[in-house]
Amino acid sequence: MCLRKKSTNNVEQMIEYLRTFMIEYLVRHPDDGGDVLPIFTMMKKNLMQYPERKMAKEMRKKNLTLEETVLNILQNHALMAIVPQSVDAFMLGDNDAAHTLYDEINDIKLQKKYIGRAQYEANKEIGNRACLIPPGGRWL
């Protein structure tokens, strides 16, 4: 095993946190692996292409921790990957793996007090709406 020097680069630290989060998530949800690995891979690719200085500046401006930044970006990627389904399938609890990831990140953000209860409920609603195919095929 090769030991790597601890990085001071925000983007590299984010990728390392993402890797750790991914492993922990897949241990908890092993059946979701095939569906969520592309989400993690896309986020890692996007992080690698993001300029370090710009990332640091945005984190300072928004007063975000490294973990909070990764969770926000990952939650946005999960939201974009949610596959809409019928109301019946949703009510039966047949959730999309991306929706499960989205909800779990939302729970983590509430537990760590990155968001309040009102924002938690709003995020829940956004995730649920993304899951549903509305009657007529589109939201008004």
Give the C-alpha separation, 82 to 34, whole Å: 14
CA 84 to mean position of chain CA atoms: 17
- Average pLDDT by consecutive 10-residue portion of the chain (140 residues)? 53 91 93 89 89 87 92 92 77 80 95 95 92 63
3-state secondary structure of 43: helix
What pLDDT score does 26 carry? Answer: 93
Question: For residues 129 and 68, is the Cβ–Cβ distance under 8 A?
Answer: no
What pLDDT score does 51 carry? Answer: 86
Nearest to 66 by CA among 108, 18, 116: 18
Would the pTM count as exceeding 0.75? yes
Rg of the chain over all Cα atoms, to the nearest angstrom: 16
Give the C-alpha separation, 108 to 69, whole Å: 13
Give the C-alpha separation, 92 to 58, whole Å: 40
First to last CA, the chain: 55
| Tokens describing residue 23 | 């492993």
